[in-house]
Amino acid sequence: MHRSPLAELKCVQIICAIVALALVPMREARAADPAQTSPDTTNLQNWAPFPVGAYVVFKDVIELQDEIPSVVRMKQVFEGVRLGRELVRTSHFTDDRWVKQKTAAIWMSGARSPKDFQFVSGKSRKETMQVGQTDLQCTVREYSLQSAEGKTTPLTVEMTMEIWRCDKVRVPEHPMLLPMGSIRLDSDVVRVSMKGKVGGRPGSLEFKLTALDQDHQIGEQTVKVAQFEGELTMELTDGKISRRDVRLVSSQIPGGIVKMAETIEGPSRFERQTREVVTFDSRLDDEFLGEFADDKVSLSIKPAIQGYQGELLVAGQRHPLRAERTEEGIAGLVEGSPAPLQFNATIAEGKLTMTIRDKVYKLTRKKAPTE
């Protein structure tokens, strides 16, 4: 039976959606609203290790056939953890300024349960996978799926799949870009292989780790990244369509994603999308974060979404404060009576000097933010 080009492309979408379902661990679906979800720390990997206010700035480039490429800048800022979910604020650079879009919970997106597609888990085996000069000992689990059209899938599906895991590898969870959305790959998944037919059309997928501990330059900073590469192919009536992915991830980057590049090519079709970090601030080496004190005064400074927040303890009285970065150090307001007081602080030779009107405090670091 002849299918329209739209139906052919739908085959690619379906095959991707099925991959998404298989890659997510077999767990019961959780509520979509994080406010209705019980505390769960299993996903606190990509943002939670960083202080509030840590951020990344991405440059998104979209190239379509016969069109001028479009470029967009996006900023993501870590706002903390609520009910076991990482909260991230997204902004876009528009009209020479950052425009806040939304704050959203980051968790396992996409499918969480195989209830829509009935996978059969097969046998497992041990395999060795070489990445550069390193041999990884992996556990490979086989899956199979057969579904008649109109039953559990819109089209007939016959598929076998293998998921490779290595318990010695821990990379940031990262999304697998799919036409119908994206899902996160677990931190120990190093390879996904698939072949089969969707709607009678053969297709295959190969997605795997290709490099560990590579140096990657972001501005003046160098980070260690893991690289994944993959290709999805599908036979259509008028030829083959393919999608190639290159992904760089790093635990040194808030959010874990350094670069994602996707190229789709097929009959009369070309599309490339690239998202890459152009700058970031992990705030892990921020010298103003921590606790400082002398024999009369103590000062606690913590990260805030914008700048700093904290508390000054003087003669048993607690005074909340807020501050932002300046060229010399930080400056802000500390609560006082009858009105807030301006202050500034600098650090030199291991001492924090805090000036409030005519009073100067020289404080010694007592505790770093990670202690």
DSSP letter at 11? Answer: H
The larger pLDDT score, comparing residue 130 to residue 240, is at 130
DSSP letter at 149? Answer: B
Question: Tokens for 340?
Answer: 């807030």
Which amino acid is it at 164?
W
DSSP lists the bridge partners of residue 82 as 85
CA distance 104 to 34: 9
Report phi then psi at 316, rounded to 5.
80, 0
Instruction: Tell me what pLDDT residue 28 has.
Output: 30
Q: Is the pTM of this model over 0.85?
A: no
Q: Cis peptide before 338, with omega less than 30 degrees from 0?
A: yes
Question: Tokens for 319?
Answer: 């005074």
pLDDT (average), residues 12-20: 52
pLDDT (average), residues 321-343: 90
Check pLDDT > 70 for residue 2: no
DSSP lists the bridge partners of residue 58 as 74, 277
**Residue 42 contacts by C-beta under 8 Å, 6 or more apart in sequence?**
none
DSSP letter at 153? Answer: B
CA distance 353 to 71: 44
Give residue 143's Cα distance to chain centre.
Answer: 27
Where residue 89 falls (left for φ over 0; alpha for ψ -120 to 50; beta otherwise) is: beta
Q: Given the DSSP bridges, would you call strands 120-131 and 269-281 parallel, antiparallel or unpaired?
A: unpaired
Instruction: Tell me what pLDDT residue 27 has.
Output: 33
Task: List the chain domain ranges.
Answer: 5-28+43-281, 290-367
Instruction: Tell me what pLDDT residue 151 has.
Output: 54
pLDDT band of residue 106 (cuts 50, 70, 90) is low
Sequential DSSP letters for 261-320: EEEEEETTEEEEEEEEEEEEE--TT-TT-EEEE-SSEEEEEEE-SSSEEEEEEETTEEEE
Check pLDDT > 60 for residue 231: yes
Return mean pLDDT, the chain: 78
Instruction: Convert the pLDDT of each residue in 239-260 to its tens digit.
Output: 788 889 999 999 999 989 999 9
